[in-house]
Structure 1
Amino acid sequence: MHRTTLKIFAALAPFLLLTACVGSQSTTKVAVDRITGNWVGPHGEKFTIAADRTFTADGLDSKNLAVTKCPGKSSEGGWSFYVAEGHGTEIGEKTAKSGSWIGLSFHGAAENCQFDLAVVDGGKALCATDDRDLPCGLDVKFTREP
């Protein structure tokens, strides 16, 4: 390789690695009680996930979630774990006791808001995604509220 090409690659390598890591996390299967509670995102996003399969959310209009068409004001809906239906198909199942992917269904004015949550970091975080191939595709990671 030419010296100039090596310099360009060396300069770009950190950015290429960062881009590759954004959505490439592996998911973790957890029980319902591991995801219920209050979760916060890096830019003021908030989720409260209840065992009765409902949730409330605030601040979902942050920069990284803008593509999801979610409101910044308080919204609510229902959630379920995705379960395998067969032949590579998954559906949201409200009675599933565990899972690694959480389907969200927003109600009211937020019904056009669309993204899922992937359970990552051994169940310590939830990542927002609009692409099942990229668990952290929207680059918003929710952690338990302290």
Structure 2
Amino acid sequence: MDNKRAWRAVLLSLTGVLLTASCGYAAAIHSAEIPQERLTGTWVSPAGTSLTFSPDHTFAGAGFDKVEAMAGCAGRATLSTGRWAFHDVPAVPDETATRGHDLQLSFDGHPACIVRVYLYGDFGDTDDPSMCPTQDPDAGCPSGGYLKREA
């Protein structure tokens, strides 16, 4: 009987470790490395947020009041332009990088408002990528928060 309890404890412990590790790797599994030429263009979300990325590392957008990751940004409904750079952990944002797994957006006139955007694809697939502005890529994207590239 003690042997059964010991095995049960071991199995429960291993299950907990596996679940914790898999949740921590969720963003990495679905992360996609997007080249700059694939990033430039317009991306939209079902919630009404749109972002248009230019090759010169500027962006214009609308609907930022709907982006939960920007809740701490003052006047987020009025934000519309800024700069983008690929930002791969643990590096700092780099406007010379030509590809990346995530971005950093900084808004003109609002230096305190910086947003991370994670790039996703099924197991790294970049044919149909999506992006999500979020503070925690492992938590997933809120409903209506994913942006897809317009055709």
Global fold match (TM > 0.5): yes
| C-alpha displacement of 1:62 | 1.1
CA distance in 1, matches of 2:140, 2:40: 20
SS in 1 for 2:97: coil
1:76 and 2:81 are equivalent in the alignment? yes
| C-alpha displacement of 1:74 | 5.0
Read off the aligned partner of 1:142 and give its amino acid letter: L
CA contact (8 A) 1:128 1:138 kept: no
Give TM-score scaled by structure 2 length.
0.67
What is the aligned-residue RMSD (CA, Å)? Answer: 2.7
Percent of aligned positions with the same letter in both sequences? 26
Whose helix proportion is higher, 1 or 2?
A: 2
Whose strand proportion is higher, 1 or 2?
A: 1
Aligned equivalent of 1:120:
120
Distance 1:41 1:32, change over 3 A: same
1:28 to 25, 32, 54: 32
Aligned equivalent of 2:135:
130
Task: For structure 1, list consecutive stretches of 5 or more residues without a partner in the other structure.
Answer: 1-19
Larger Rg: 2
Deviant stretches of 4+, over 6 Å: none
Task: For structure 2, list consecutive stretches of 5 or more residues without a partner in the other structure.
Answer: 1-21
| C-alpha displacement of 1:137 | 4.5
CA contact (8 A) 2:102 2:118 kept: yes
Distance 1:50 1:99, change over 3 A: same
CA distance in 2, matches of 1:141, 1:74: 19
1:22-101 matches, cutoff 5 A: 24-25=26-27, 26-62=30-66, 64-65=68-69, 67-69=71-73, 71-83=76-88, 89-101=90-102
| C-alpha displacement of 1:112 | 3.8
Distance 1:135 1:114, change over 3 A: farther
